[in-house]
Structure 1
Amino acid sequence: MDTASLTGLIKAIVTIVLIYYIVKFLMKMLAPVLVQQMVKKAGQTMHERQQEFYNAQNNQRQQQQQEPAKRPEQKPKVGEYIDFEEID
């Protein structure tokens, strides 16, 4: 059975601390670039959606201008309405 030694514990703690500081350093270097890319992508997406919305509105306006105003269709009279009363 292996027992834990003091040197093994110290090596593990030093490794964890080194990994922590390396990750912290890399995040300081990469975070601004990643945030800038995310903002740029969000701006492009919003611009594309805005263009789609304006294009849809323009198409709808053009269709309304091209179609003449239609009269509402009248439903043909099928028959007469009869009100039945219940007799006790």
Structure 2
Amino acid sequence: MQEADFRGVVKMLFYLIAIYYIIKFLARLFLPVIAKKVVEKATQQFQEQAQQQNQQYQDNYNTSTKSDKPRETKKVGEYIDYEEVD
């Protein structure tokens, strides 16, 4: 059975601290770039989705306004134009 000696524990702590600071340094370098790309991609997807919805709305609007039968209007009576008499 092996026992951990003081030098091994100190060495392990040194490696853990070094790895922590390396990761922290790399995160400061690359995290803003990655975040910017994610935001750009989300913006692009949002714009594409908005364009698709606008296209669908226009298609639905165009097909609903172009009907084969014109709407029938109810004729209730004649229009009478009244003039004032002095």
| Alpha-carbon displacement from aligned partner over 1:20-70 (angstroms, at most 9, x marks no partner) | 000000000001101100110010000000000100010001101222358
Q: Give distance in 2, aligned partners of 1:69 and 1:26.
A: 68
TM-score (norm 1): 0.75
1:1-88 map, 5 Å: 1-69=1-69
Sequence identity percentage? 28
Name the Cα RMSD after superposition.
Answer: 1.6
Please state whether the residue corresponding to 1:52 is helix, strand or coil. helix
TM-score (norm 2): 0.77
| Residue identity matched to 1:10 | V
Distance 1:69 1:52 in 2: 29
Determine the C-alpha separation between the residues in 2 that align with 1:62 and 1:9: 75
Question: Secondary structure, in 3 states, of the residue corresponding to 2:3?
Answer: coil
